[in-house]
Structure 1
Amino acid sequence: MTETIFAQAADLNQGLAAIGYGLAAIGPGIGVGLIFAAVINGTARQPEASGKLQTIGYSTFVLTEVLALIGIVVYFMASLS
């Protein structure tokens, strides 16, 4: 009896992990859009600063994508347990 309860809890855990990762991926997706929108807007306003803006944009893009990578690692850890 207890084995079936644990099996059901493991199935529920995998489903919740998938939903959680899907929700966690929304944040970095919005963040990346805002980052590059700001880079495009800044380049339109000051074209001579485009190199500096792109450098800042790509470095913040990397930091934002790390959040998504951490989320997928947590998802796999939760789904495997």
Structure 2
Amino acid sequence: MEGTLNVVGYGLAAIGPGIGVALIFAAWITATARQPESAGITRPMLFMGFALVEVLALFGLVLAFALS
């Protein structure tokens, strides 16, 4: 078994953004199902939230490489 503790740390750090993305998309699907006419208004907020959560995963990846 090869690797460092940084790889394990990044794997654990990727769980949070994964759950966050799932919650964001689930909330948007629920909101769109309740009021379909609001889909165009809420879609930019969906992508902004998705981008902000994914940045956390990228920070974890950069930190894993920076600390090794």
Do the structures match in fold with TM over 0.5? Answer: yes
Q: Who is 2:59 aligned against? A: 70
Report % sequence identity: 58
* CA-based RMSD: 0.9
Q: For 1:72, what is the secondary structure of its paired residue?
A: helix
- Could you report, residue by residue, the CA deviation over 1:24-75 in whole angstroms, capped at 9, with x for unpaired residues? 0000000000000000000000001001111111000000000001000000
Q: Distance in 1 between matches of 2:5 and 2:43?
A: 37
Shift of 1:78: 1.3
Q: Which has the larger radius of gyration?
A: 1
Unaligned ranges ≥5, structure 2: none
2:7 maps to which of 13, 18, 21: 18
Tell whether 2:29 aligns with 1:45.
Answer: no
Tell whether 2:44 aligns with 1:59.
Answer: no
Structure number with the higher helix fraction is 1
Q: Identify which of structures 1 and 2 has the higher relative contact order when contacts are C-alpha pairs closer than 8 Å and 6+ apart.
A: 2
Number of equivalenced pairs: 66
Tell me the amino acid that sits aligned with residue 6 of structure 2.
A
